[in-house]
Amino acid sequence: MKYLSKVIAFLLLSLFFTSSALAHFKLNLNVRIIHVEHRSDGLEIYMRLPMPYLVADLLGEADANGLPIPAPYTTNRMEEGKLTHYVDVKAIHNSLDEMKRLIQRGLNISVDDEAGELEVDKVFFYKNGTQSDFSTLEEAKASFAKTNDLSVFNNEVYVGDTTIDVLLQYKSASSINEYGIAYTLDPKLPNQDETANVILDYSPSGVQVFRERGLLLKPIMITNSLWDAMVTFIKEGVQHILDGTDHVLFVICLVLGSLSITRLLWRVTGFTLGHSVTLSLGFFGFVPSSAWFIPAVETGIAISIVYIAAVALLPDFIDSFKKEKSEASVVIITTLIGMLHGLGFSFVLQHILNVTSPNIWQSLLAFNIGVEIGQLFIVLVTLILLYLVAKTGSKAEKVTRYALAMGSIVIAIIWTVERGSSIVSAL
């Protein structure tokens, strides 16, 4: 137990040193949106997904030129030493039969644990940025109510810059209440485990919105239960805060600087209230849209870690004249910092939902509950670790607190410099 404090500090700080300076803005985050409308004879499915999810793993063996045989509906060539892939518009004009087979092979719908046959009705191709909105069932239907314009692909378009809309039919002898949905193709793409899947189910009993992360290799059950739908967003909120290294670091320092449970509760409450407000405001767009704003928020979050870590080192450094006033100042500032972190949460949520999506407040509430559960988990784990260290002696506890706080300051300063440079680049 003699070296327990040093080991804990080393492991935690090693984790933070290996993390990215930009914890929130995975701008290449891939999103799949699936609208499912219940009909008397089965299901009608409107799906939007990135094209690489259908073809990325279908390259063939190298040909005489040393290039792999292109995947269906693509061409490829070497550019600056890198293999690049383009959409083959001629193949699209010739036939979509192969693409329909890929879609049928990838998307699986199961009712009562039995997989059923999907029929692909329409397939549309879009260069990213030219597709219409797809957040509601009405928007999804409207996207198929017009002729798909492929002229944009006459000028070479990267496969990675291409989105596909698909209309499918699942036929059944009777109406369907519950079903499982899975996607069995494994494109082996970078960061595919971060894929944001949004399934919107439109049944006679109402609309439910489900959220799942990853490829969906294992089926997600879609029901008409409000609770089942909310649980998927609660899970996403928990996972988001645990994946956000800067959020984790801030909460740990919040615990380190709270020398009593009462102080900790006040500070955590302030932080919660702050980010709950701006999570909603940021999501609905009540913030500046300038290019500098996102890196500015990220930089502010890094600076907030420096502040709260300093509080952990010198609890009364803000106001050395009166402890009560000092603690009130810390709580107020922690609330303001919570508002800053809430913006970080909201920007990620914008990649998952659109403000016009059904049941938006339900999804926001569930996501926020998940964030709070994740935050409380971090608090609990930190308190348990500090308690175990304290059992080895007061000196070990003090060393651990100082090591974590000082390490946090160093890391946050590095983040501040990195993120601050992004602000300059955006101006």
Q: What is the pLDDT at residue 113?
A: 72
Residue 301: inside a domain: yes
Q: What is the pLDDT at residue 352?
A: 67
| Biggest alpha carbon–alpha carbon distance for the chain | 80
Q: Are residues 19 and 69 in the same domain?
A: no
Q: What is the pLDDT at residue 356?
A: 74
Separation of alpha carbons 375 and 24, rounded Å: 16
Q: What is the pLDDT at residue 325?
A: 52
Residue 156: inside a domain: yes
pTM of the model: 0.84
Bridge partners, 118 (sequence order):
170
Q: Give the distance from CA 237 to its chain's centroid.
A: 9
Of 305 and 321, the structure prediction assigns the larger pLDDT to: 305
Determine what percent of the chain is predicted with pLDDT higher than 70: 89
Q: What is the pLDDT at residue 12?
A: 52
Separation of alpha carbons 361 and 369, rounded Å: 12
Tell me the two tokens of residue 59. 């390259």
Q: What is the pLDDT at residue 47?
A: 96
Question: With 70 as the cut, is the pLDDT of residue 1 above it?
Answer: no
Q: How far is CA 51 from CA 28, 34, 88, 124, 159, in A?
A: 14, 15, 12, 11, 6
Round the CA-based radius of gyration of the chain to a whole number and report it.
25
Q: Are residues 105 and 196 in the same domain?
A: yes
For strand 31-39 and strand 196-203, is the pairing parallel, antiparallel, or unpaired? Answer: parallel
Query: What mean pLDDT is reported for the chain?
Result: 84
Q: What is the pLDDT at residue 5?
A: 52
Residue 314: inside a domain: yes
Q: Which residues contact 255 (CB under 8 A, 6 or more apart)?
A: 264, 378, 379, 382, 383, 386
Q: What is the pLDDT at residue 351?
A: 66
How many helices (H) and strands (E) the chain has is answered by 12, 12
Q: What is the pLDDT at residue 321?
A: 43
Q: Are residues 278 and 380 in the same domain?
A: yes
Q: What is the pLDDT at residue 203?
A: 93
Give the number of domains in the chain: 2
Of 29 and 309, the structure prediction assigns the larger pLDDT to: 309
Q: Are residues 380 and 261 in the same domain?
A: yes
Residue 232: inside a domain: no
Residue 198: inside a domain: yes
Q: Are residues 300 and 381 in the same domain?
A: yes
Domain that holds residue 273: 4-24+244-426
Helix axes 323-350, 245-256, angle to 10 degrees: 170
Q: Any idea how long the chain is?
A: 427
pLDDT tens-place string over residues 109-140: 999 877 678 999 999 999 998 988 898 999 99
Q: What is the pLDDT at residue 28?
A: 38
pLDDT tens-place string over residues 28-58: 348 899 999 999 889 999 999 999 999 988 9
Question: With 50 as the cut, is the pLDDT of residue 316 above it?
Answer: no
Residue 231: inside a domain: no
Residue 237: inside a domain: no
Question: With 60 as the cut, is the pLDDT of residue 324 above it?
Answer: no
Which has the minimum average pLDDT: 159-173, 343-357, 384-398? Answer: 343-357
pLDDT tens-place string over residues 203-246: 999 999 999 999 999 999 999 999 999 999 999 989 988 888 88
Query: Mean pLDDT, to the nearest integer, of 6-20?
Result: 49
| Region label for 184, one of left (φ > 0), alpha (ψ between -120 and 50) or beta (otherwise) | alpha
Pick from 325, 297, 317: which is nearest to 416 by CA?
297
Q: Are residues 167 and 299 in the same domain?
A: no
Q: What is the pLDDT at residue 94?
A: 95
Q: Are residues 172 and 315 in the same domain?
A: no
Q: Are residues 418 and 383 in the same domain?
A: yes
pLDDT tens-place string over residues 340-380: 888 877 777 776 677 777 888 898 889 889 988 999 999 99
Separation of alpha carbons 133 and 222, rounded Å: 23
Question: With 70 as the cut, is the pLDDT of residue 24 above it?
Answer: no
Of 250 and 2, the structure prediction assigns the larger pLDDT to: 250
Query: Mean pLDDT, to the nearest integer, of 71-95?
Result: 92
Q: What is the pLDDT at residue 276?
A: 86
Q: Are residues 154 and 251 in the same domain?
A: no
Contact 75, 88 (CB under 8 A): yes
Q: Are residues 135 and 52 in the same domain?
A: yes
Residue 229: inside a domain: no
Pick from 361, 366, 343: which is nearest to 239 by CA?
366
Question: With 90 as the cut, is the pLDDT of residue 202 above it?
Answer: yes
Question: With 50 as the cut, is the pLDDT of residue 23 above it?
Answer: no
Q: Are residues 165 and 249 in the same domain?
A: no
Q: Are residues 119 and 139 in the same domain?
A: yes
Strand ranges of the sheet holding 220-222, from the earlier edge strand across to the other edge? 114-115, 107-111, 179-183, 220-222
Pick from 93, 148, 159, 100: which is nearest to 125 by CA?
148
